[in-house]
Amino acid sequence: MNAEYLVTGGGGFIGSNVVRTLVAQGRRVRVLDNLSTGRRENIGDIEDRIDFVLGDIRDVETVRRAVQGVRYVLHAAALPSVARSVREPLASNDVNITGTLNLLVAARDARVERLVYSSSSSVYGNTPVLPKREDMPPQPRSPYALTKLAGELYARLFTDLYGLPTFSLRYFNVFGPRQDPSSQYSAVIPRFIDTLHHGQPLVIYGDGRQTRDFTFVDDVVSANLCCCTAPLDAAGVPYNVAWGNRISLQELVAVLGRLMGKQVEPVFEPARAGDVRDSQADSSQAMARLGWKPQVSFEEGLRKTVEWFLSHP
């Protein structure tokens, strides 16, 4: 099957939401995923409408085959989690830097029109100034954050040096349907929903007053697609992708308790190494240069997420 879009990590949380949106729009989509952290069931009901390639971005020949004939590469494949990278820095480096470089080289050689790179707000580290702006000096505090920054710098280099238009999107605490709650490295929202649903003690690492700029996955999907139509002079630089609000973990727990009809008394544990205290985005550059605008508020997104998880136990 000839494909217009290649989505790496298309079986994962963000990737599968991108794939489903593209398929719903009638686009021809190829997915490259080794399913180490993604799940085939995330795209199982649409697999007959896509070209699925079971493979690893660390394998040069697999990547070269995957990019053949595509116009746009949406690169969501990664070994996620700050905590995991602290425990496994070599694996994080191998997948997130070497794998990304493989993809950039293959995209350049195949004359791909654009490559969109999924980066992370973790590159900012614990800089005290809020909101975070793209012109602030990065201060990564974990191997994961460092690998995401390295991927951004490689993407920019390939734009400047080889003329491959690249767009790096710094996501801020993305949440929504199909996010895995079962791993020890799971993001906080699916883990909290799963914990409350099963009546288990809800653990917060730290004092619960740390804040995050939670971003519903549909807004991340739309940012990826905006990069495929944005002016070419917008390429080569990173963009924050977030609503622009700060929500504390204690506030998150209160809203979840209300949505799920649960009385919640969190258990507090010591903060984890590498975690960022506060996070909030200034996304004005993405709005001005990419034509992107967030559409789904925190509480609306949380309600949709809770409904999805409760209907997909």
Please name the residues in contact with 54: beta carbons below 8 A apart, sequence gap of 6 or more. Answer: 33, 34, 35
Bridge partner residues of 117 (DSSP): 75, 168
Q: Which of the following is catalytic: 5, 72, 144, 154? A: 144
The sign of the torsion formed by the CA atoms of 275, 279, 285, 287 equals: positive
Q: How many CB atoms lie within 10 A of CB 280?
A: 20
Q: Is 144 a catalytic residue?
A: yes
Which is it for strands 211-212 and 166-171: parallel, antiparallel or unpaired?
unpaired
The number of residues making up the chain comes to 313
Helices (H), the chain: 13-24, 60-67, 82-87, 89-93, 99-109, 143-162, 188-197, 217-227, 249-260, 284-285, 298-311
Scanning the structure block, which residue is given the tokens 């480096």?
93
CB 25 within 8 A of CB 3: no
Which sequence positions are flagged as catalytic? 144
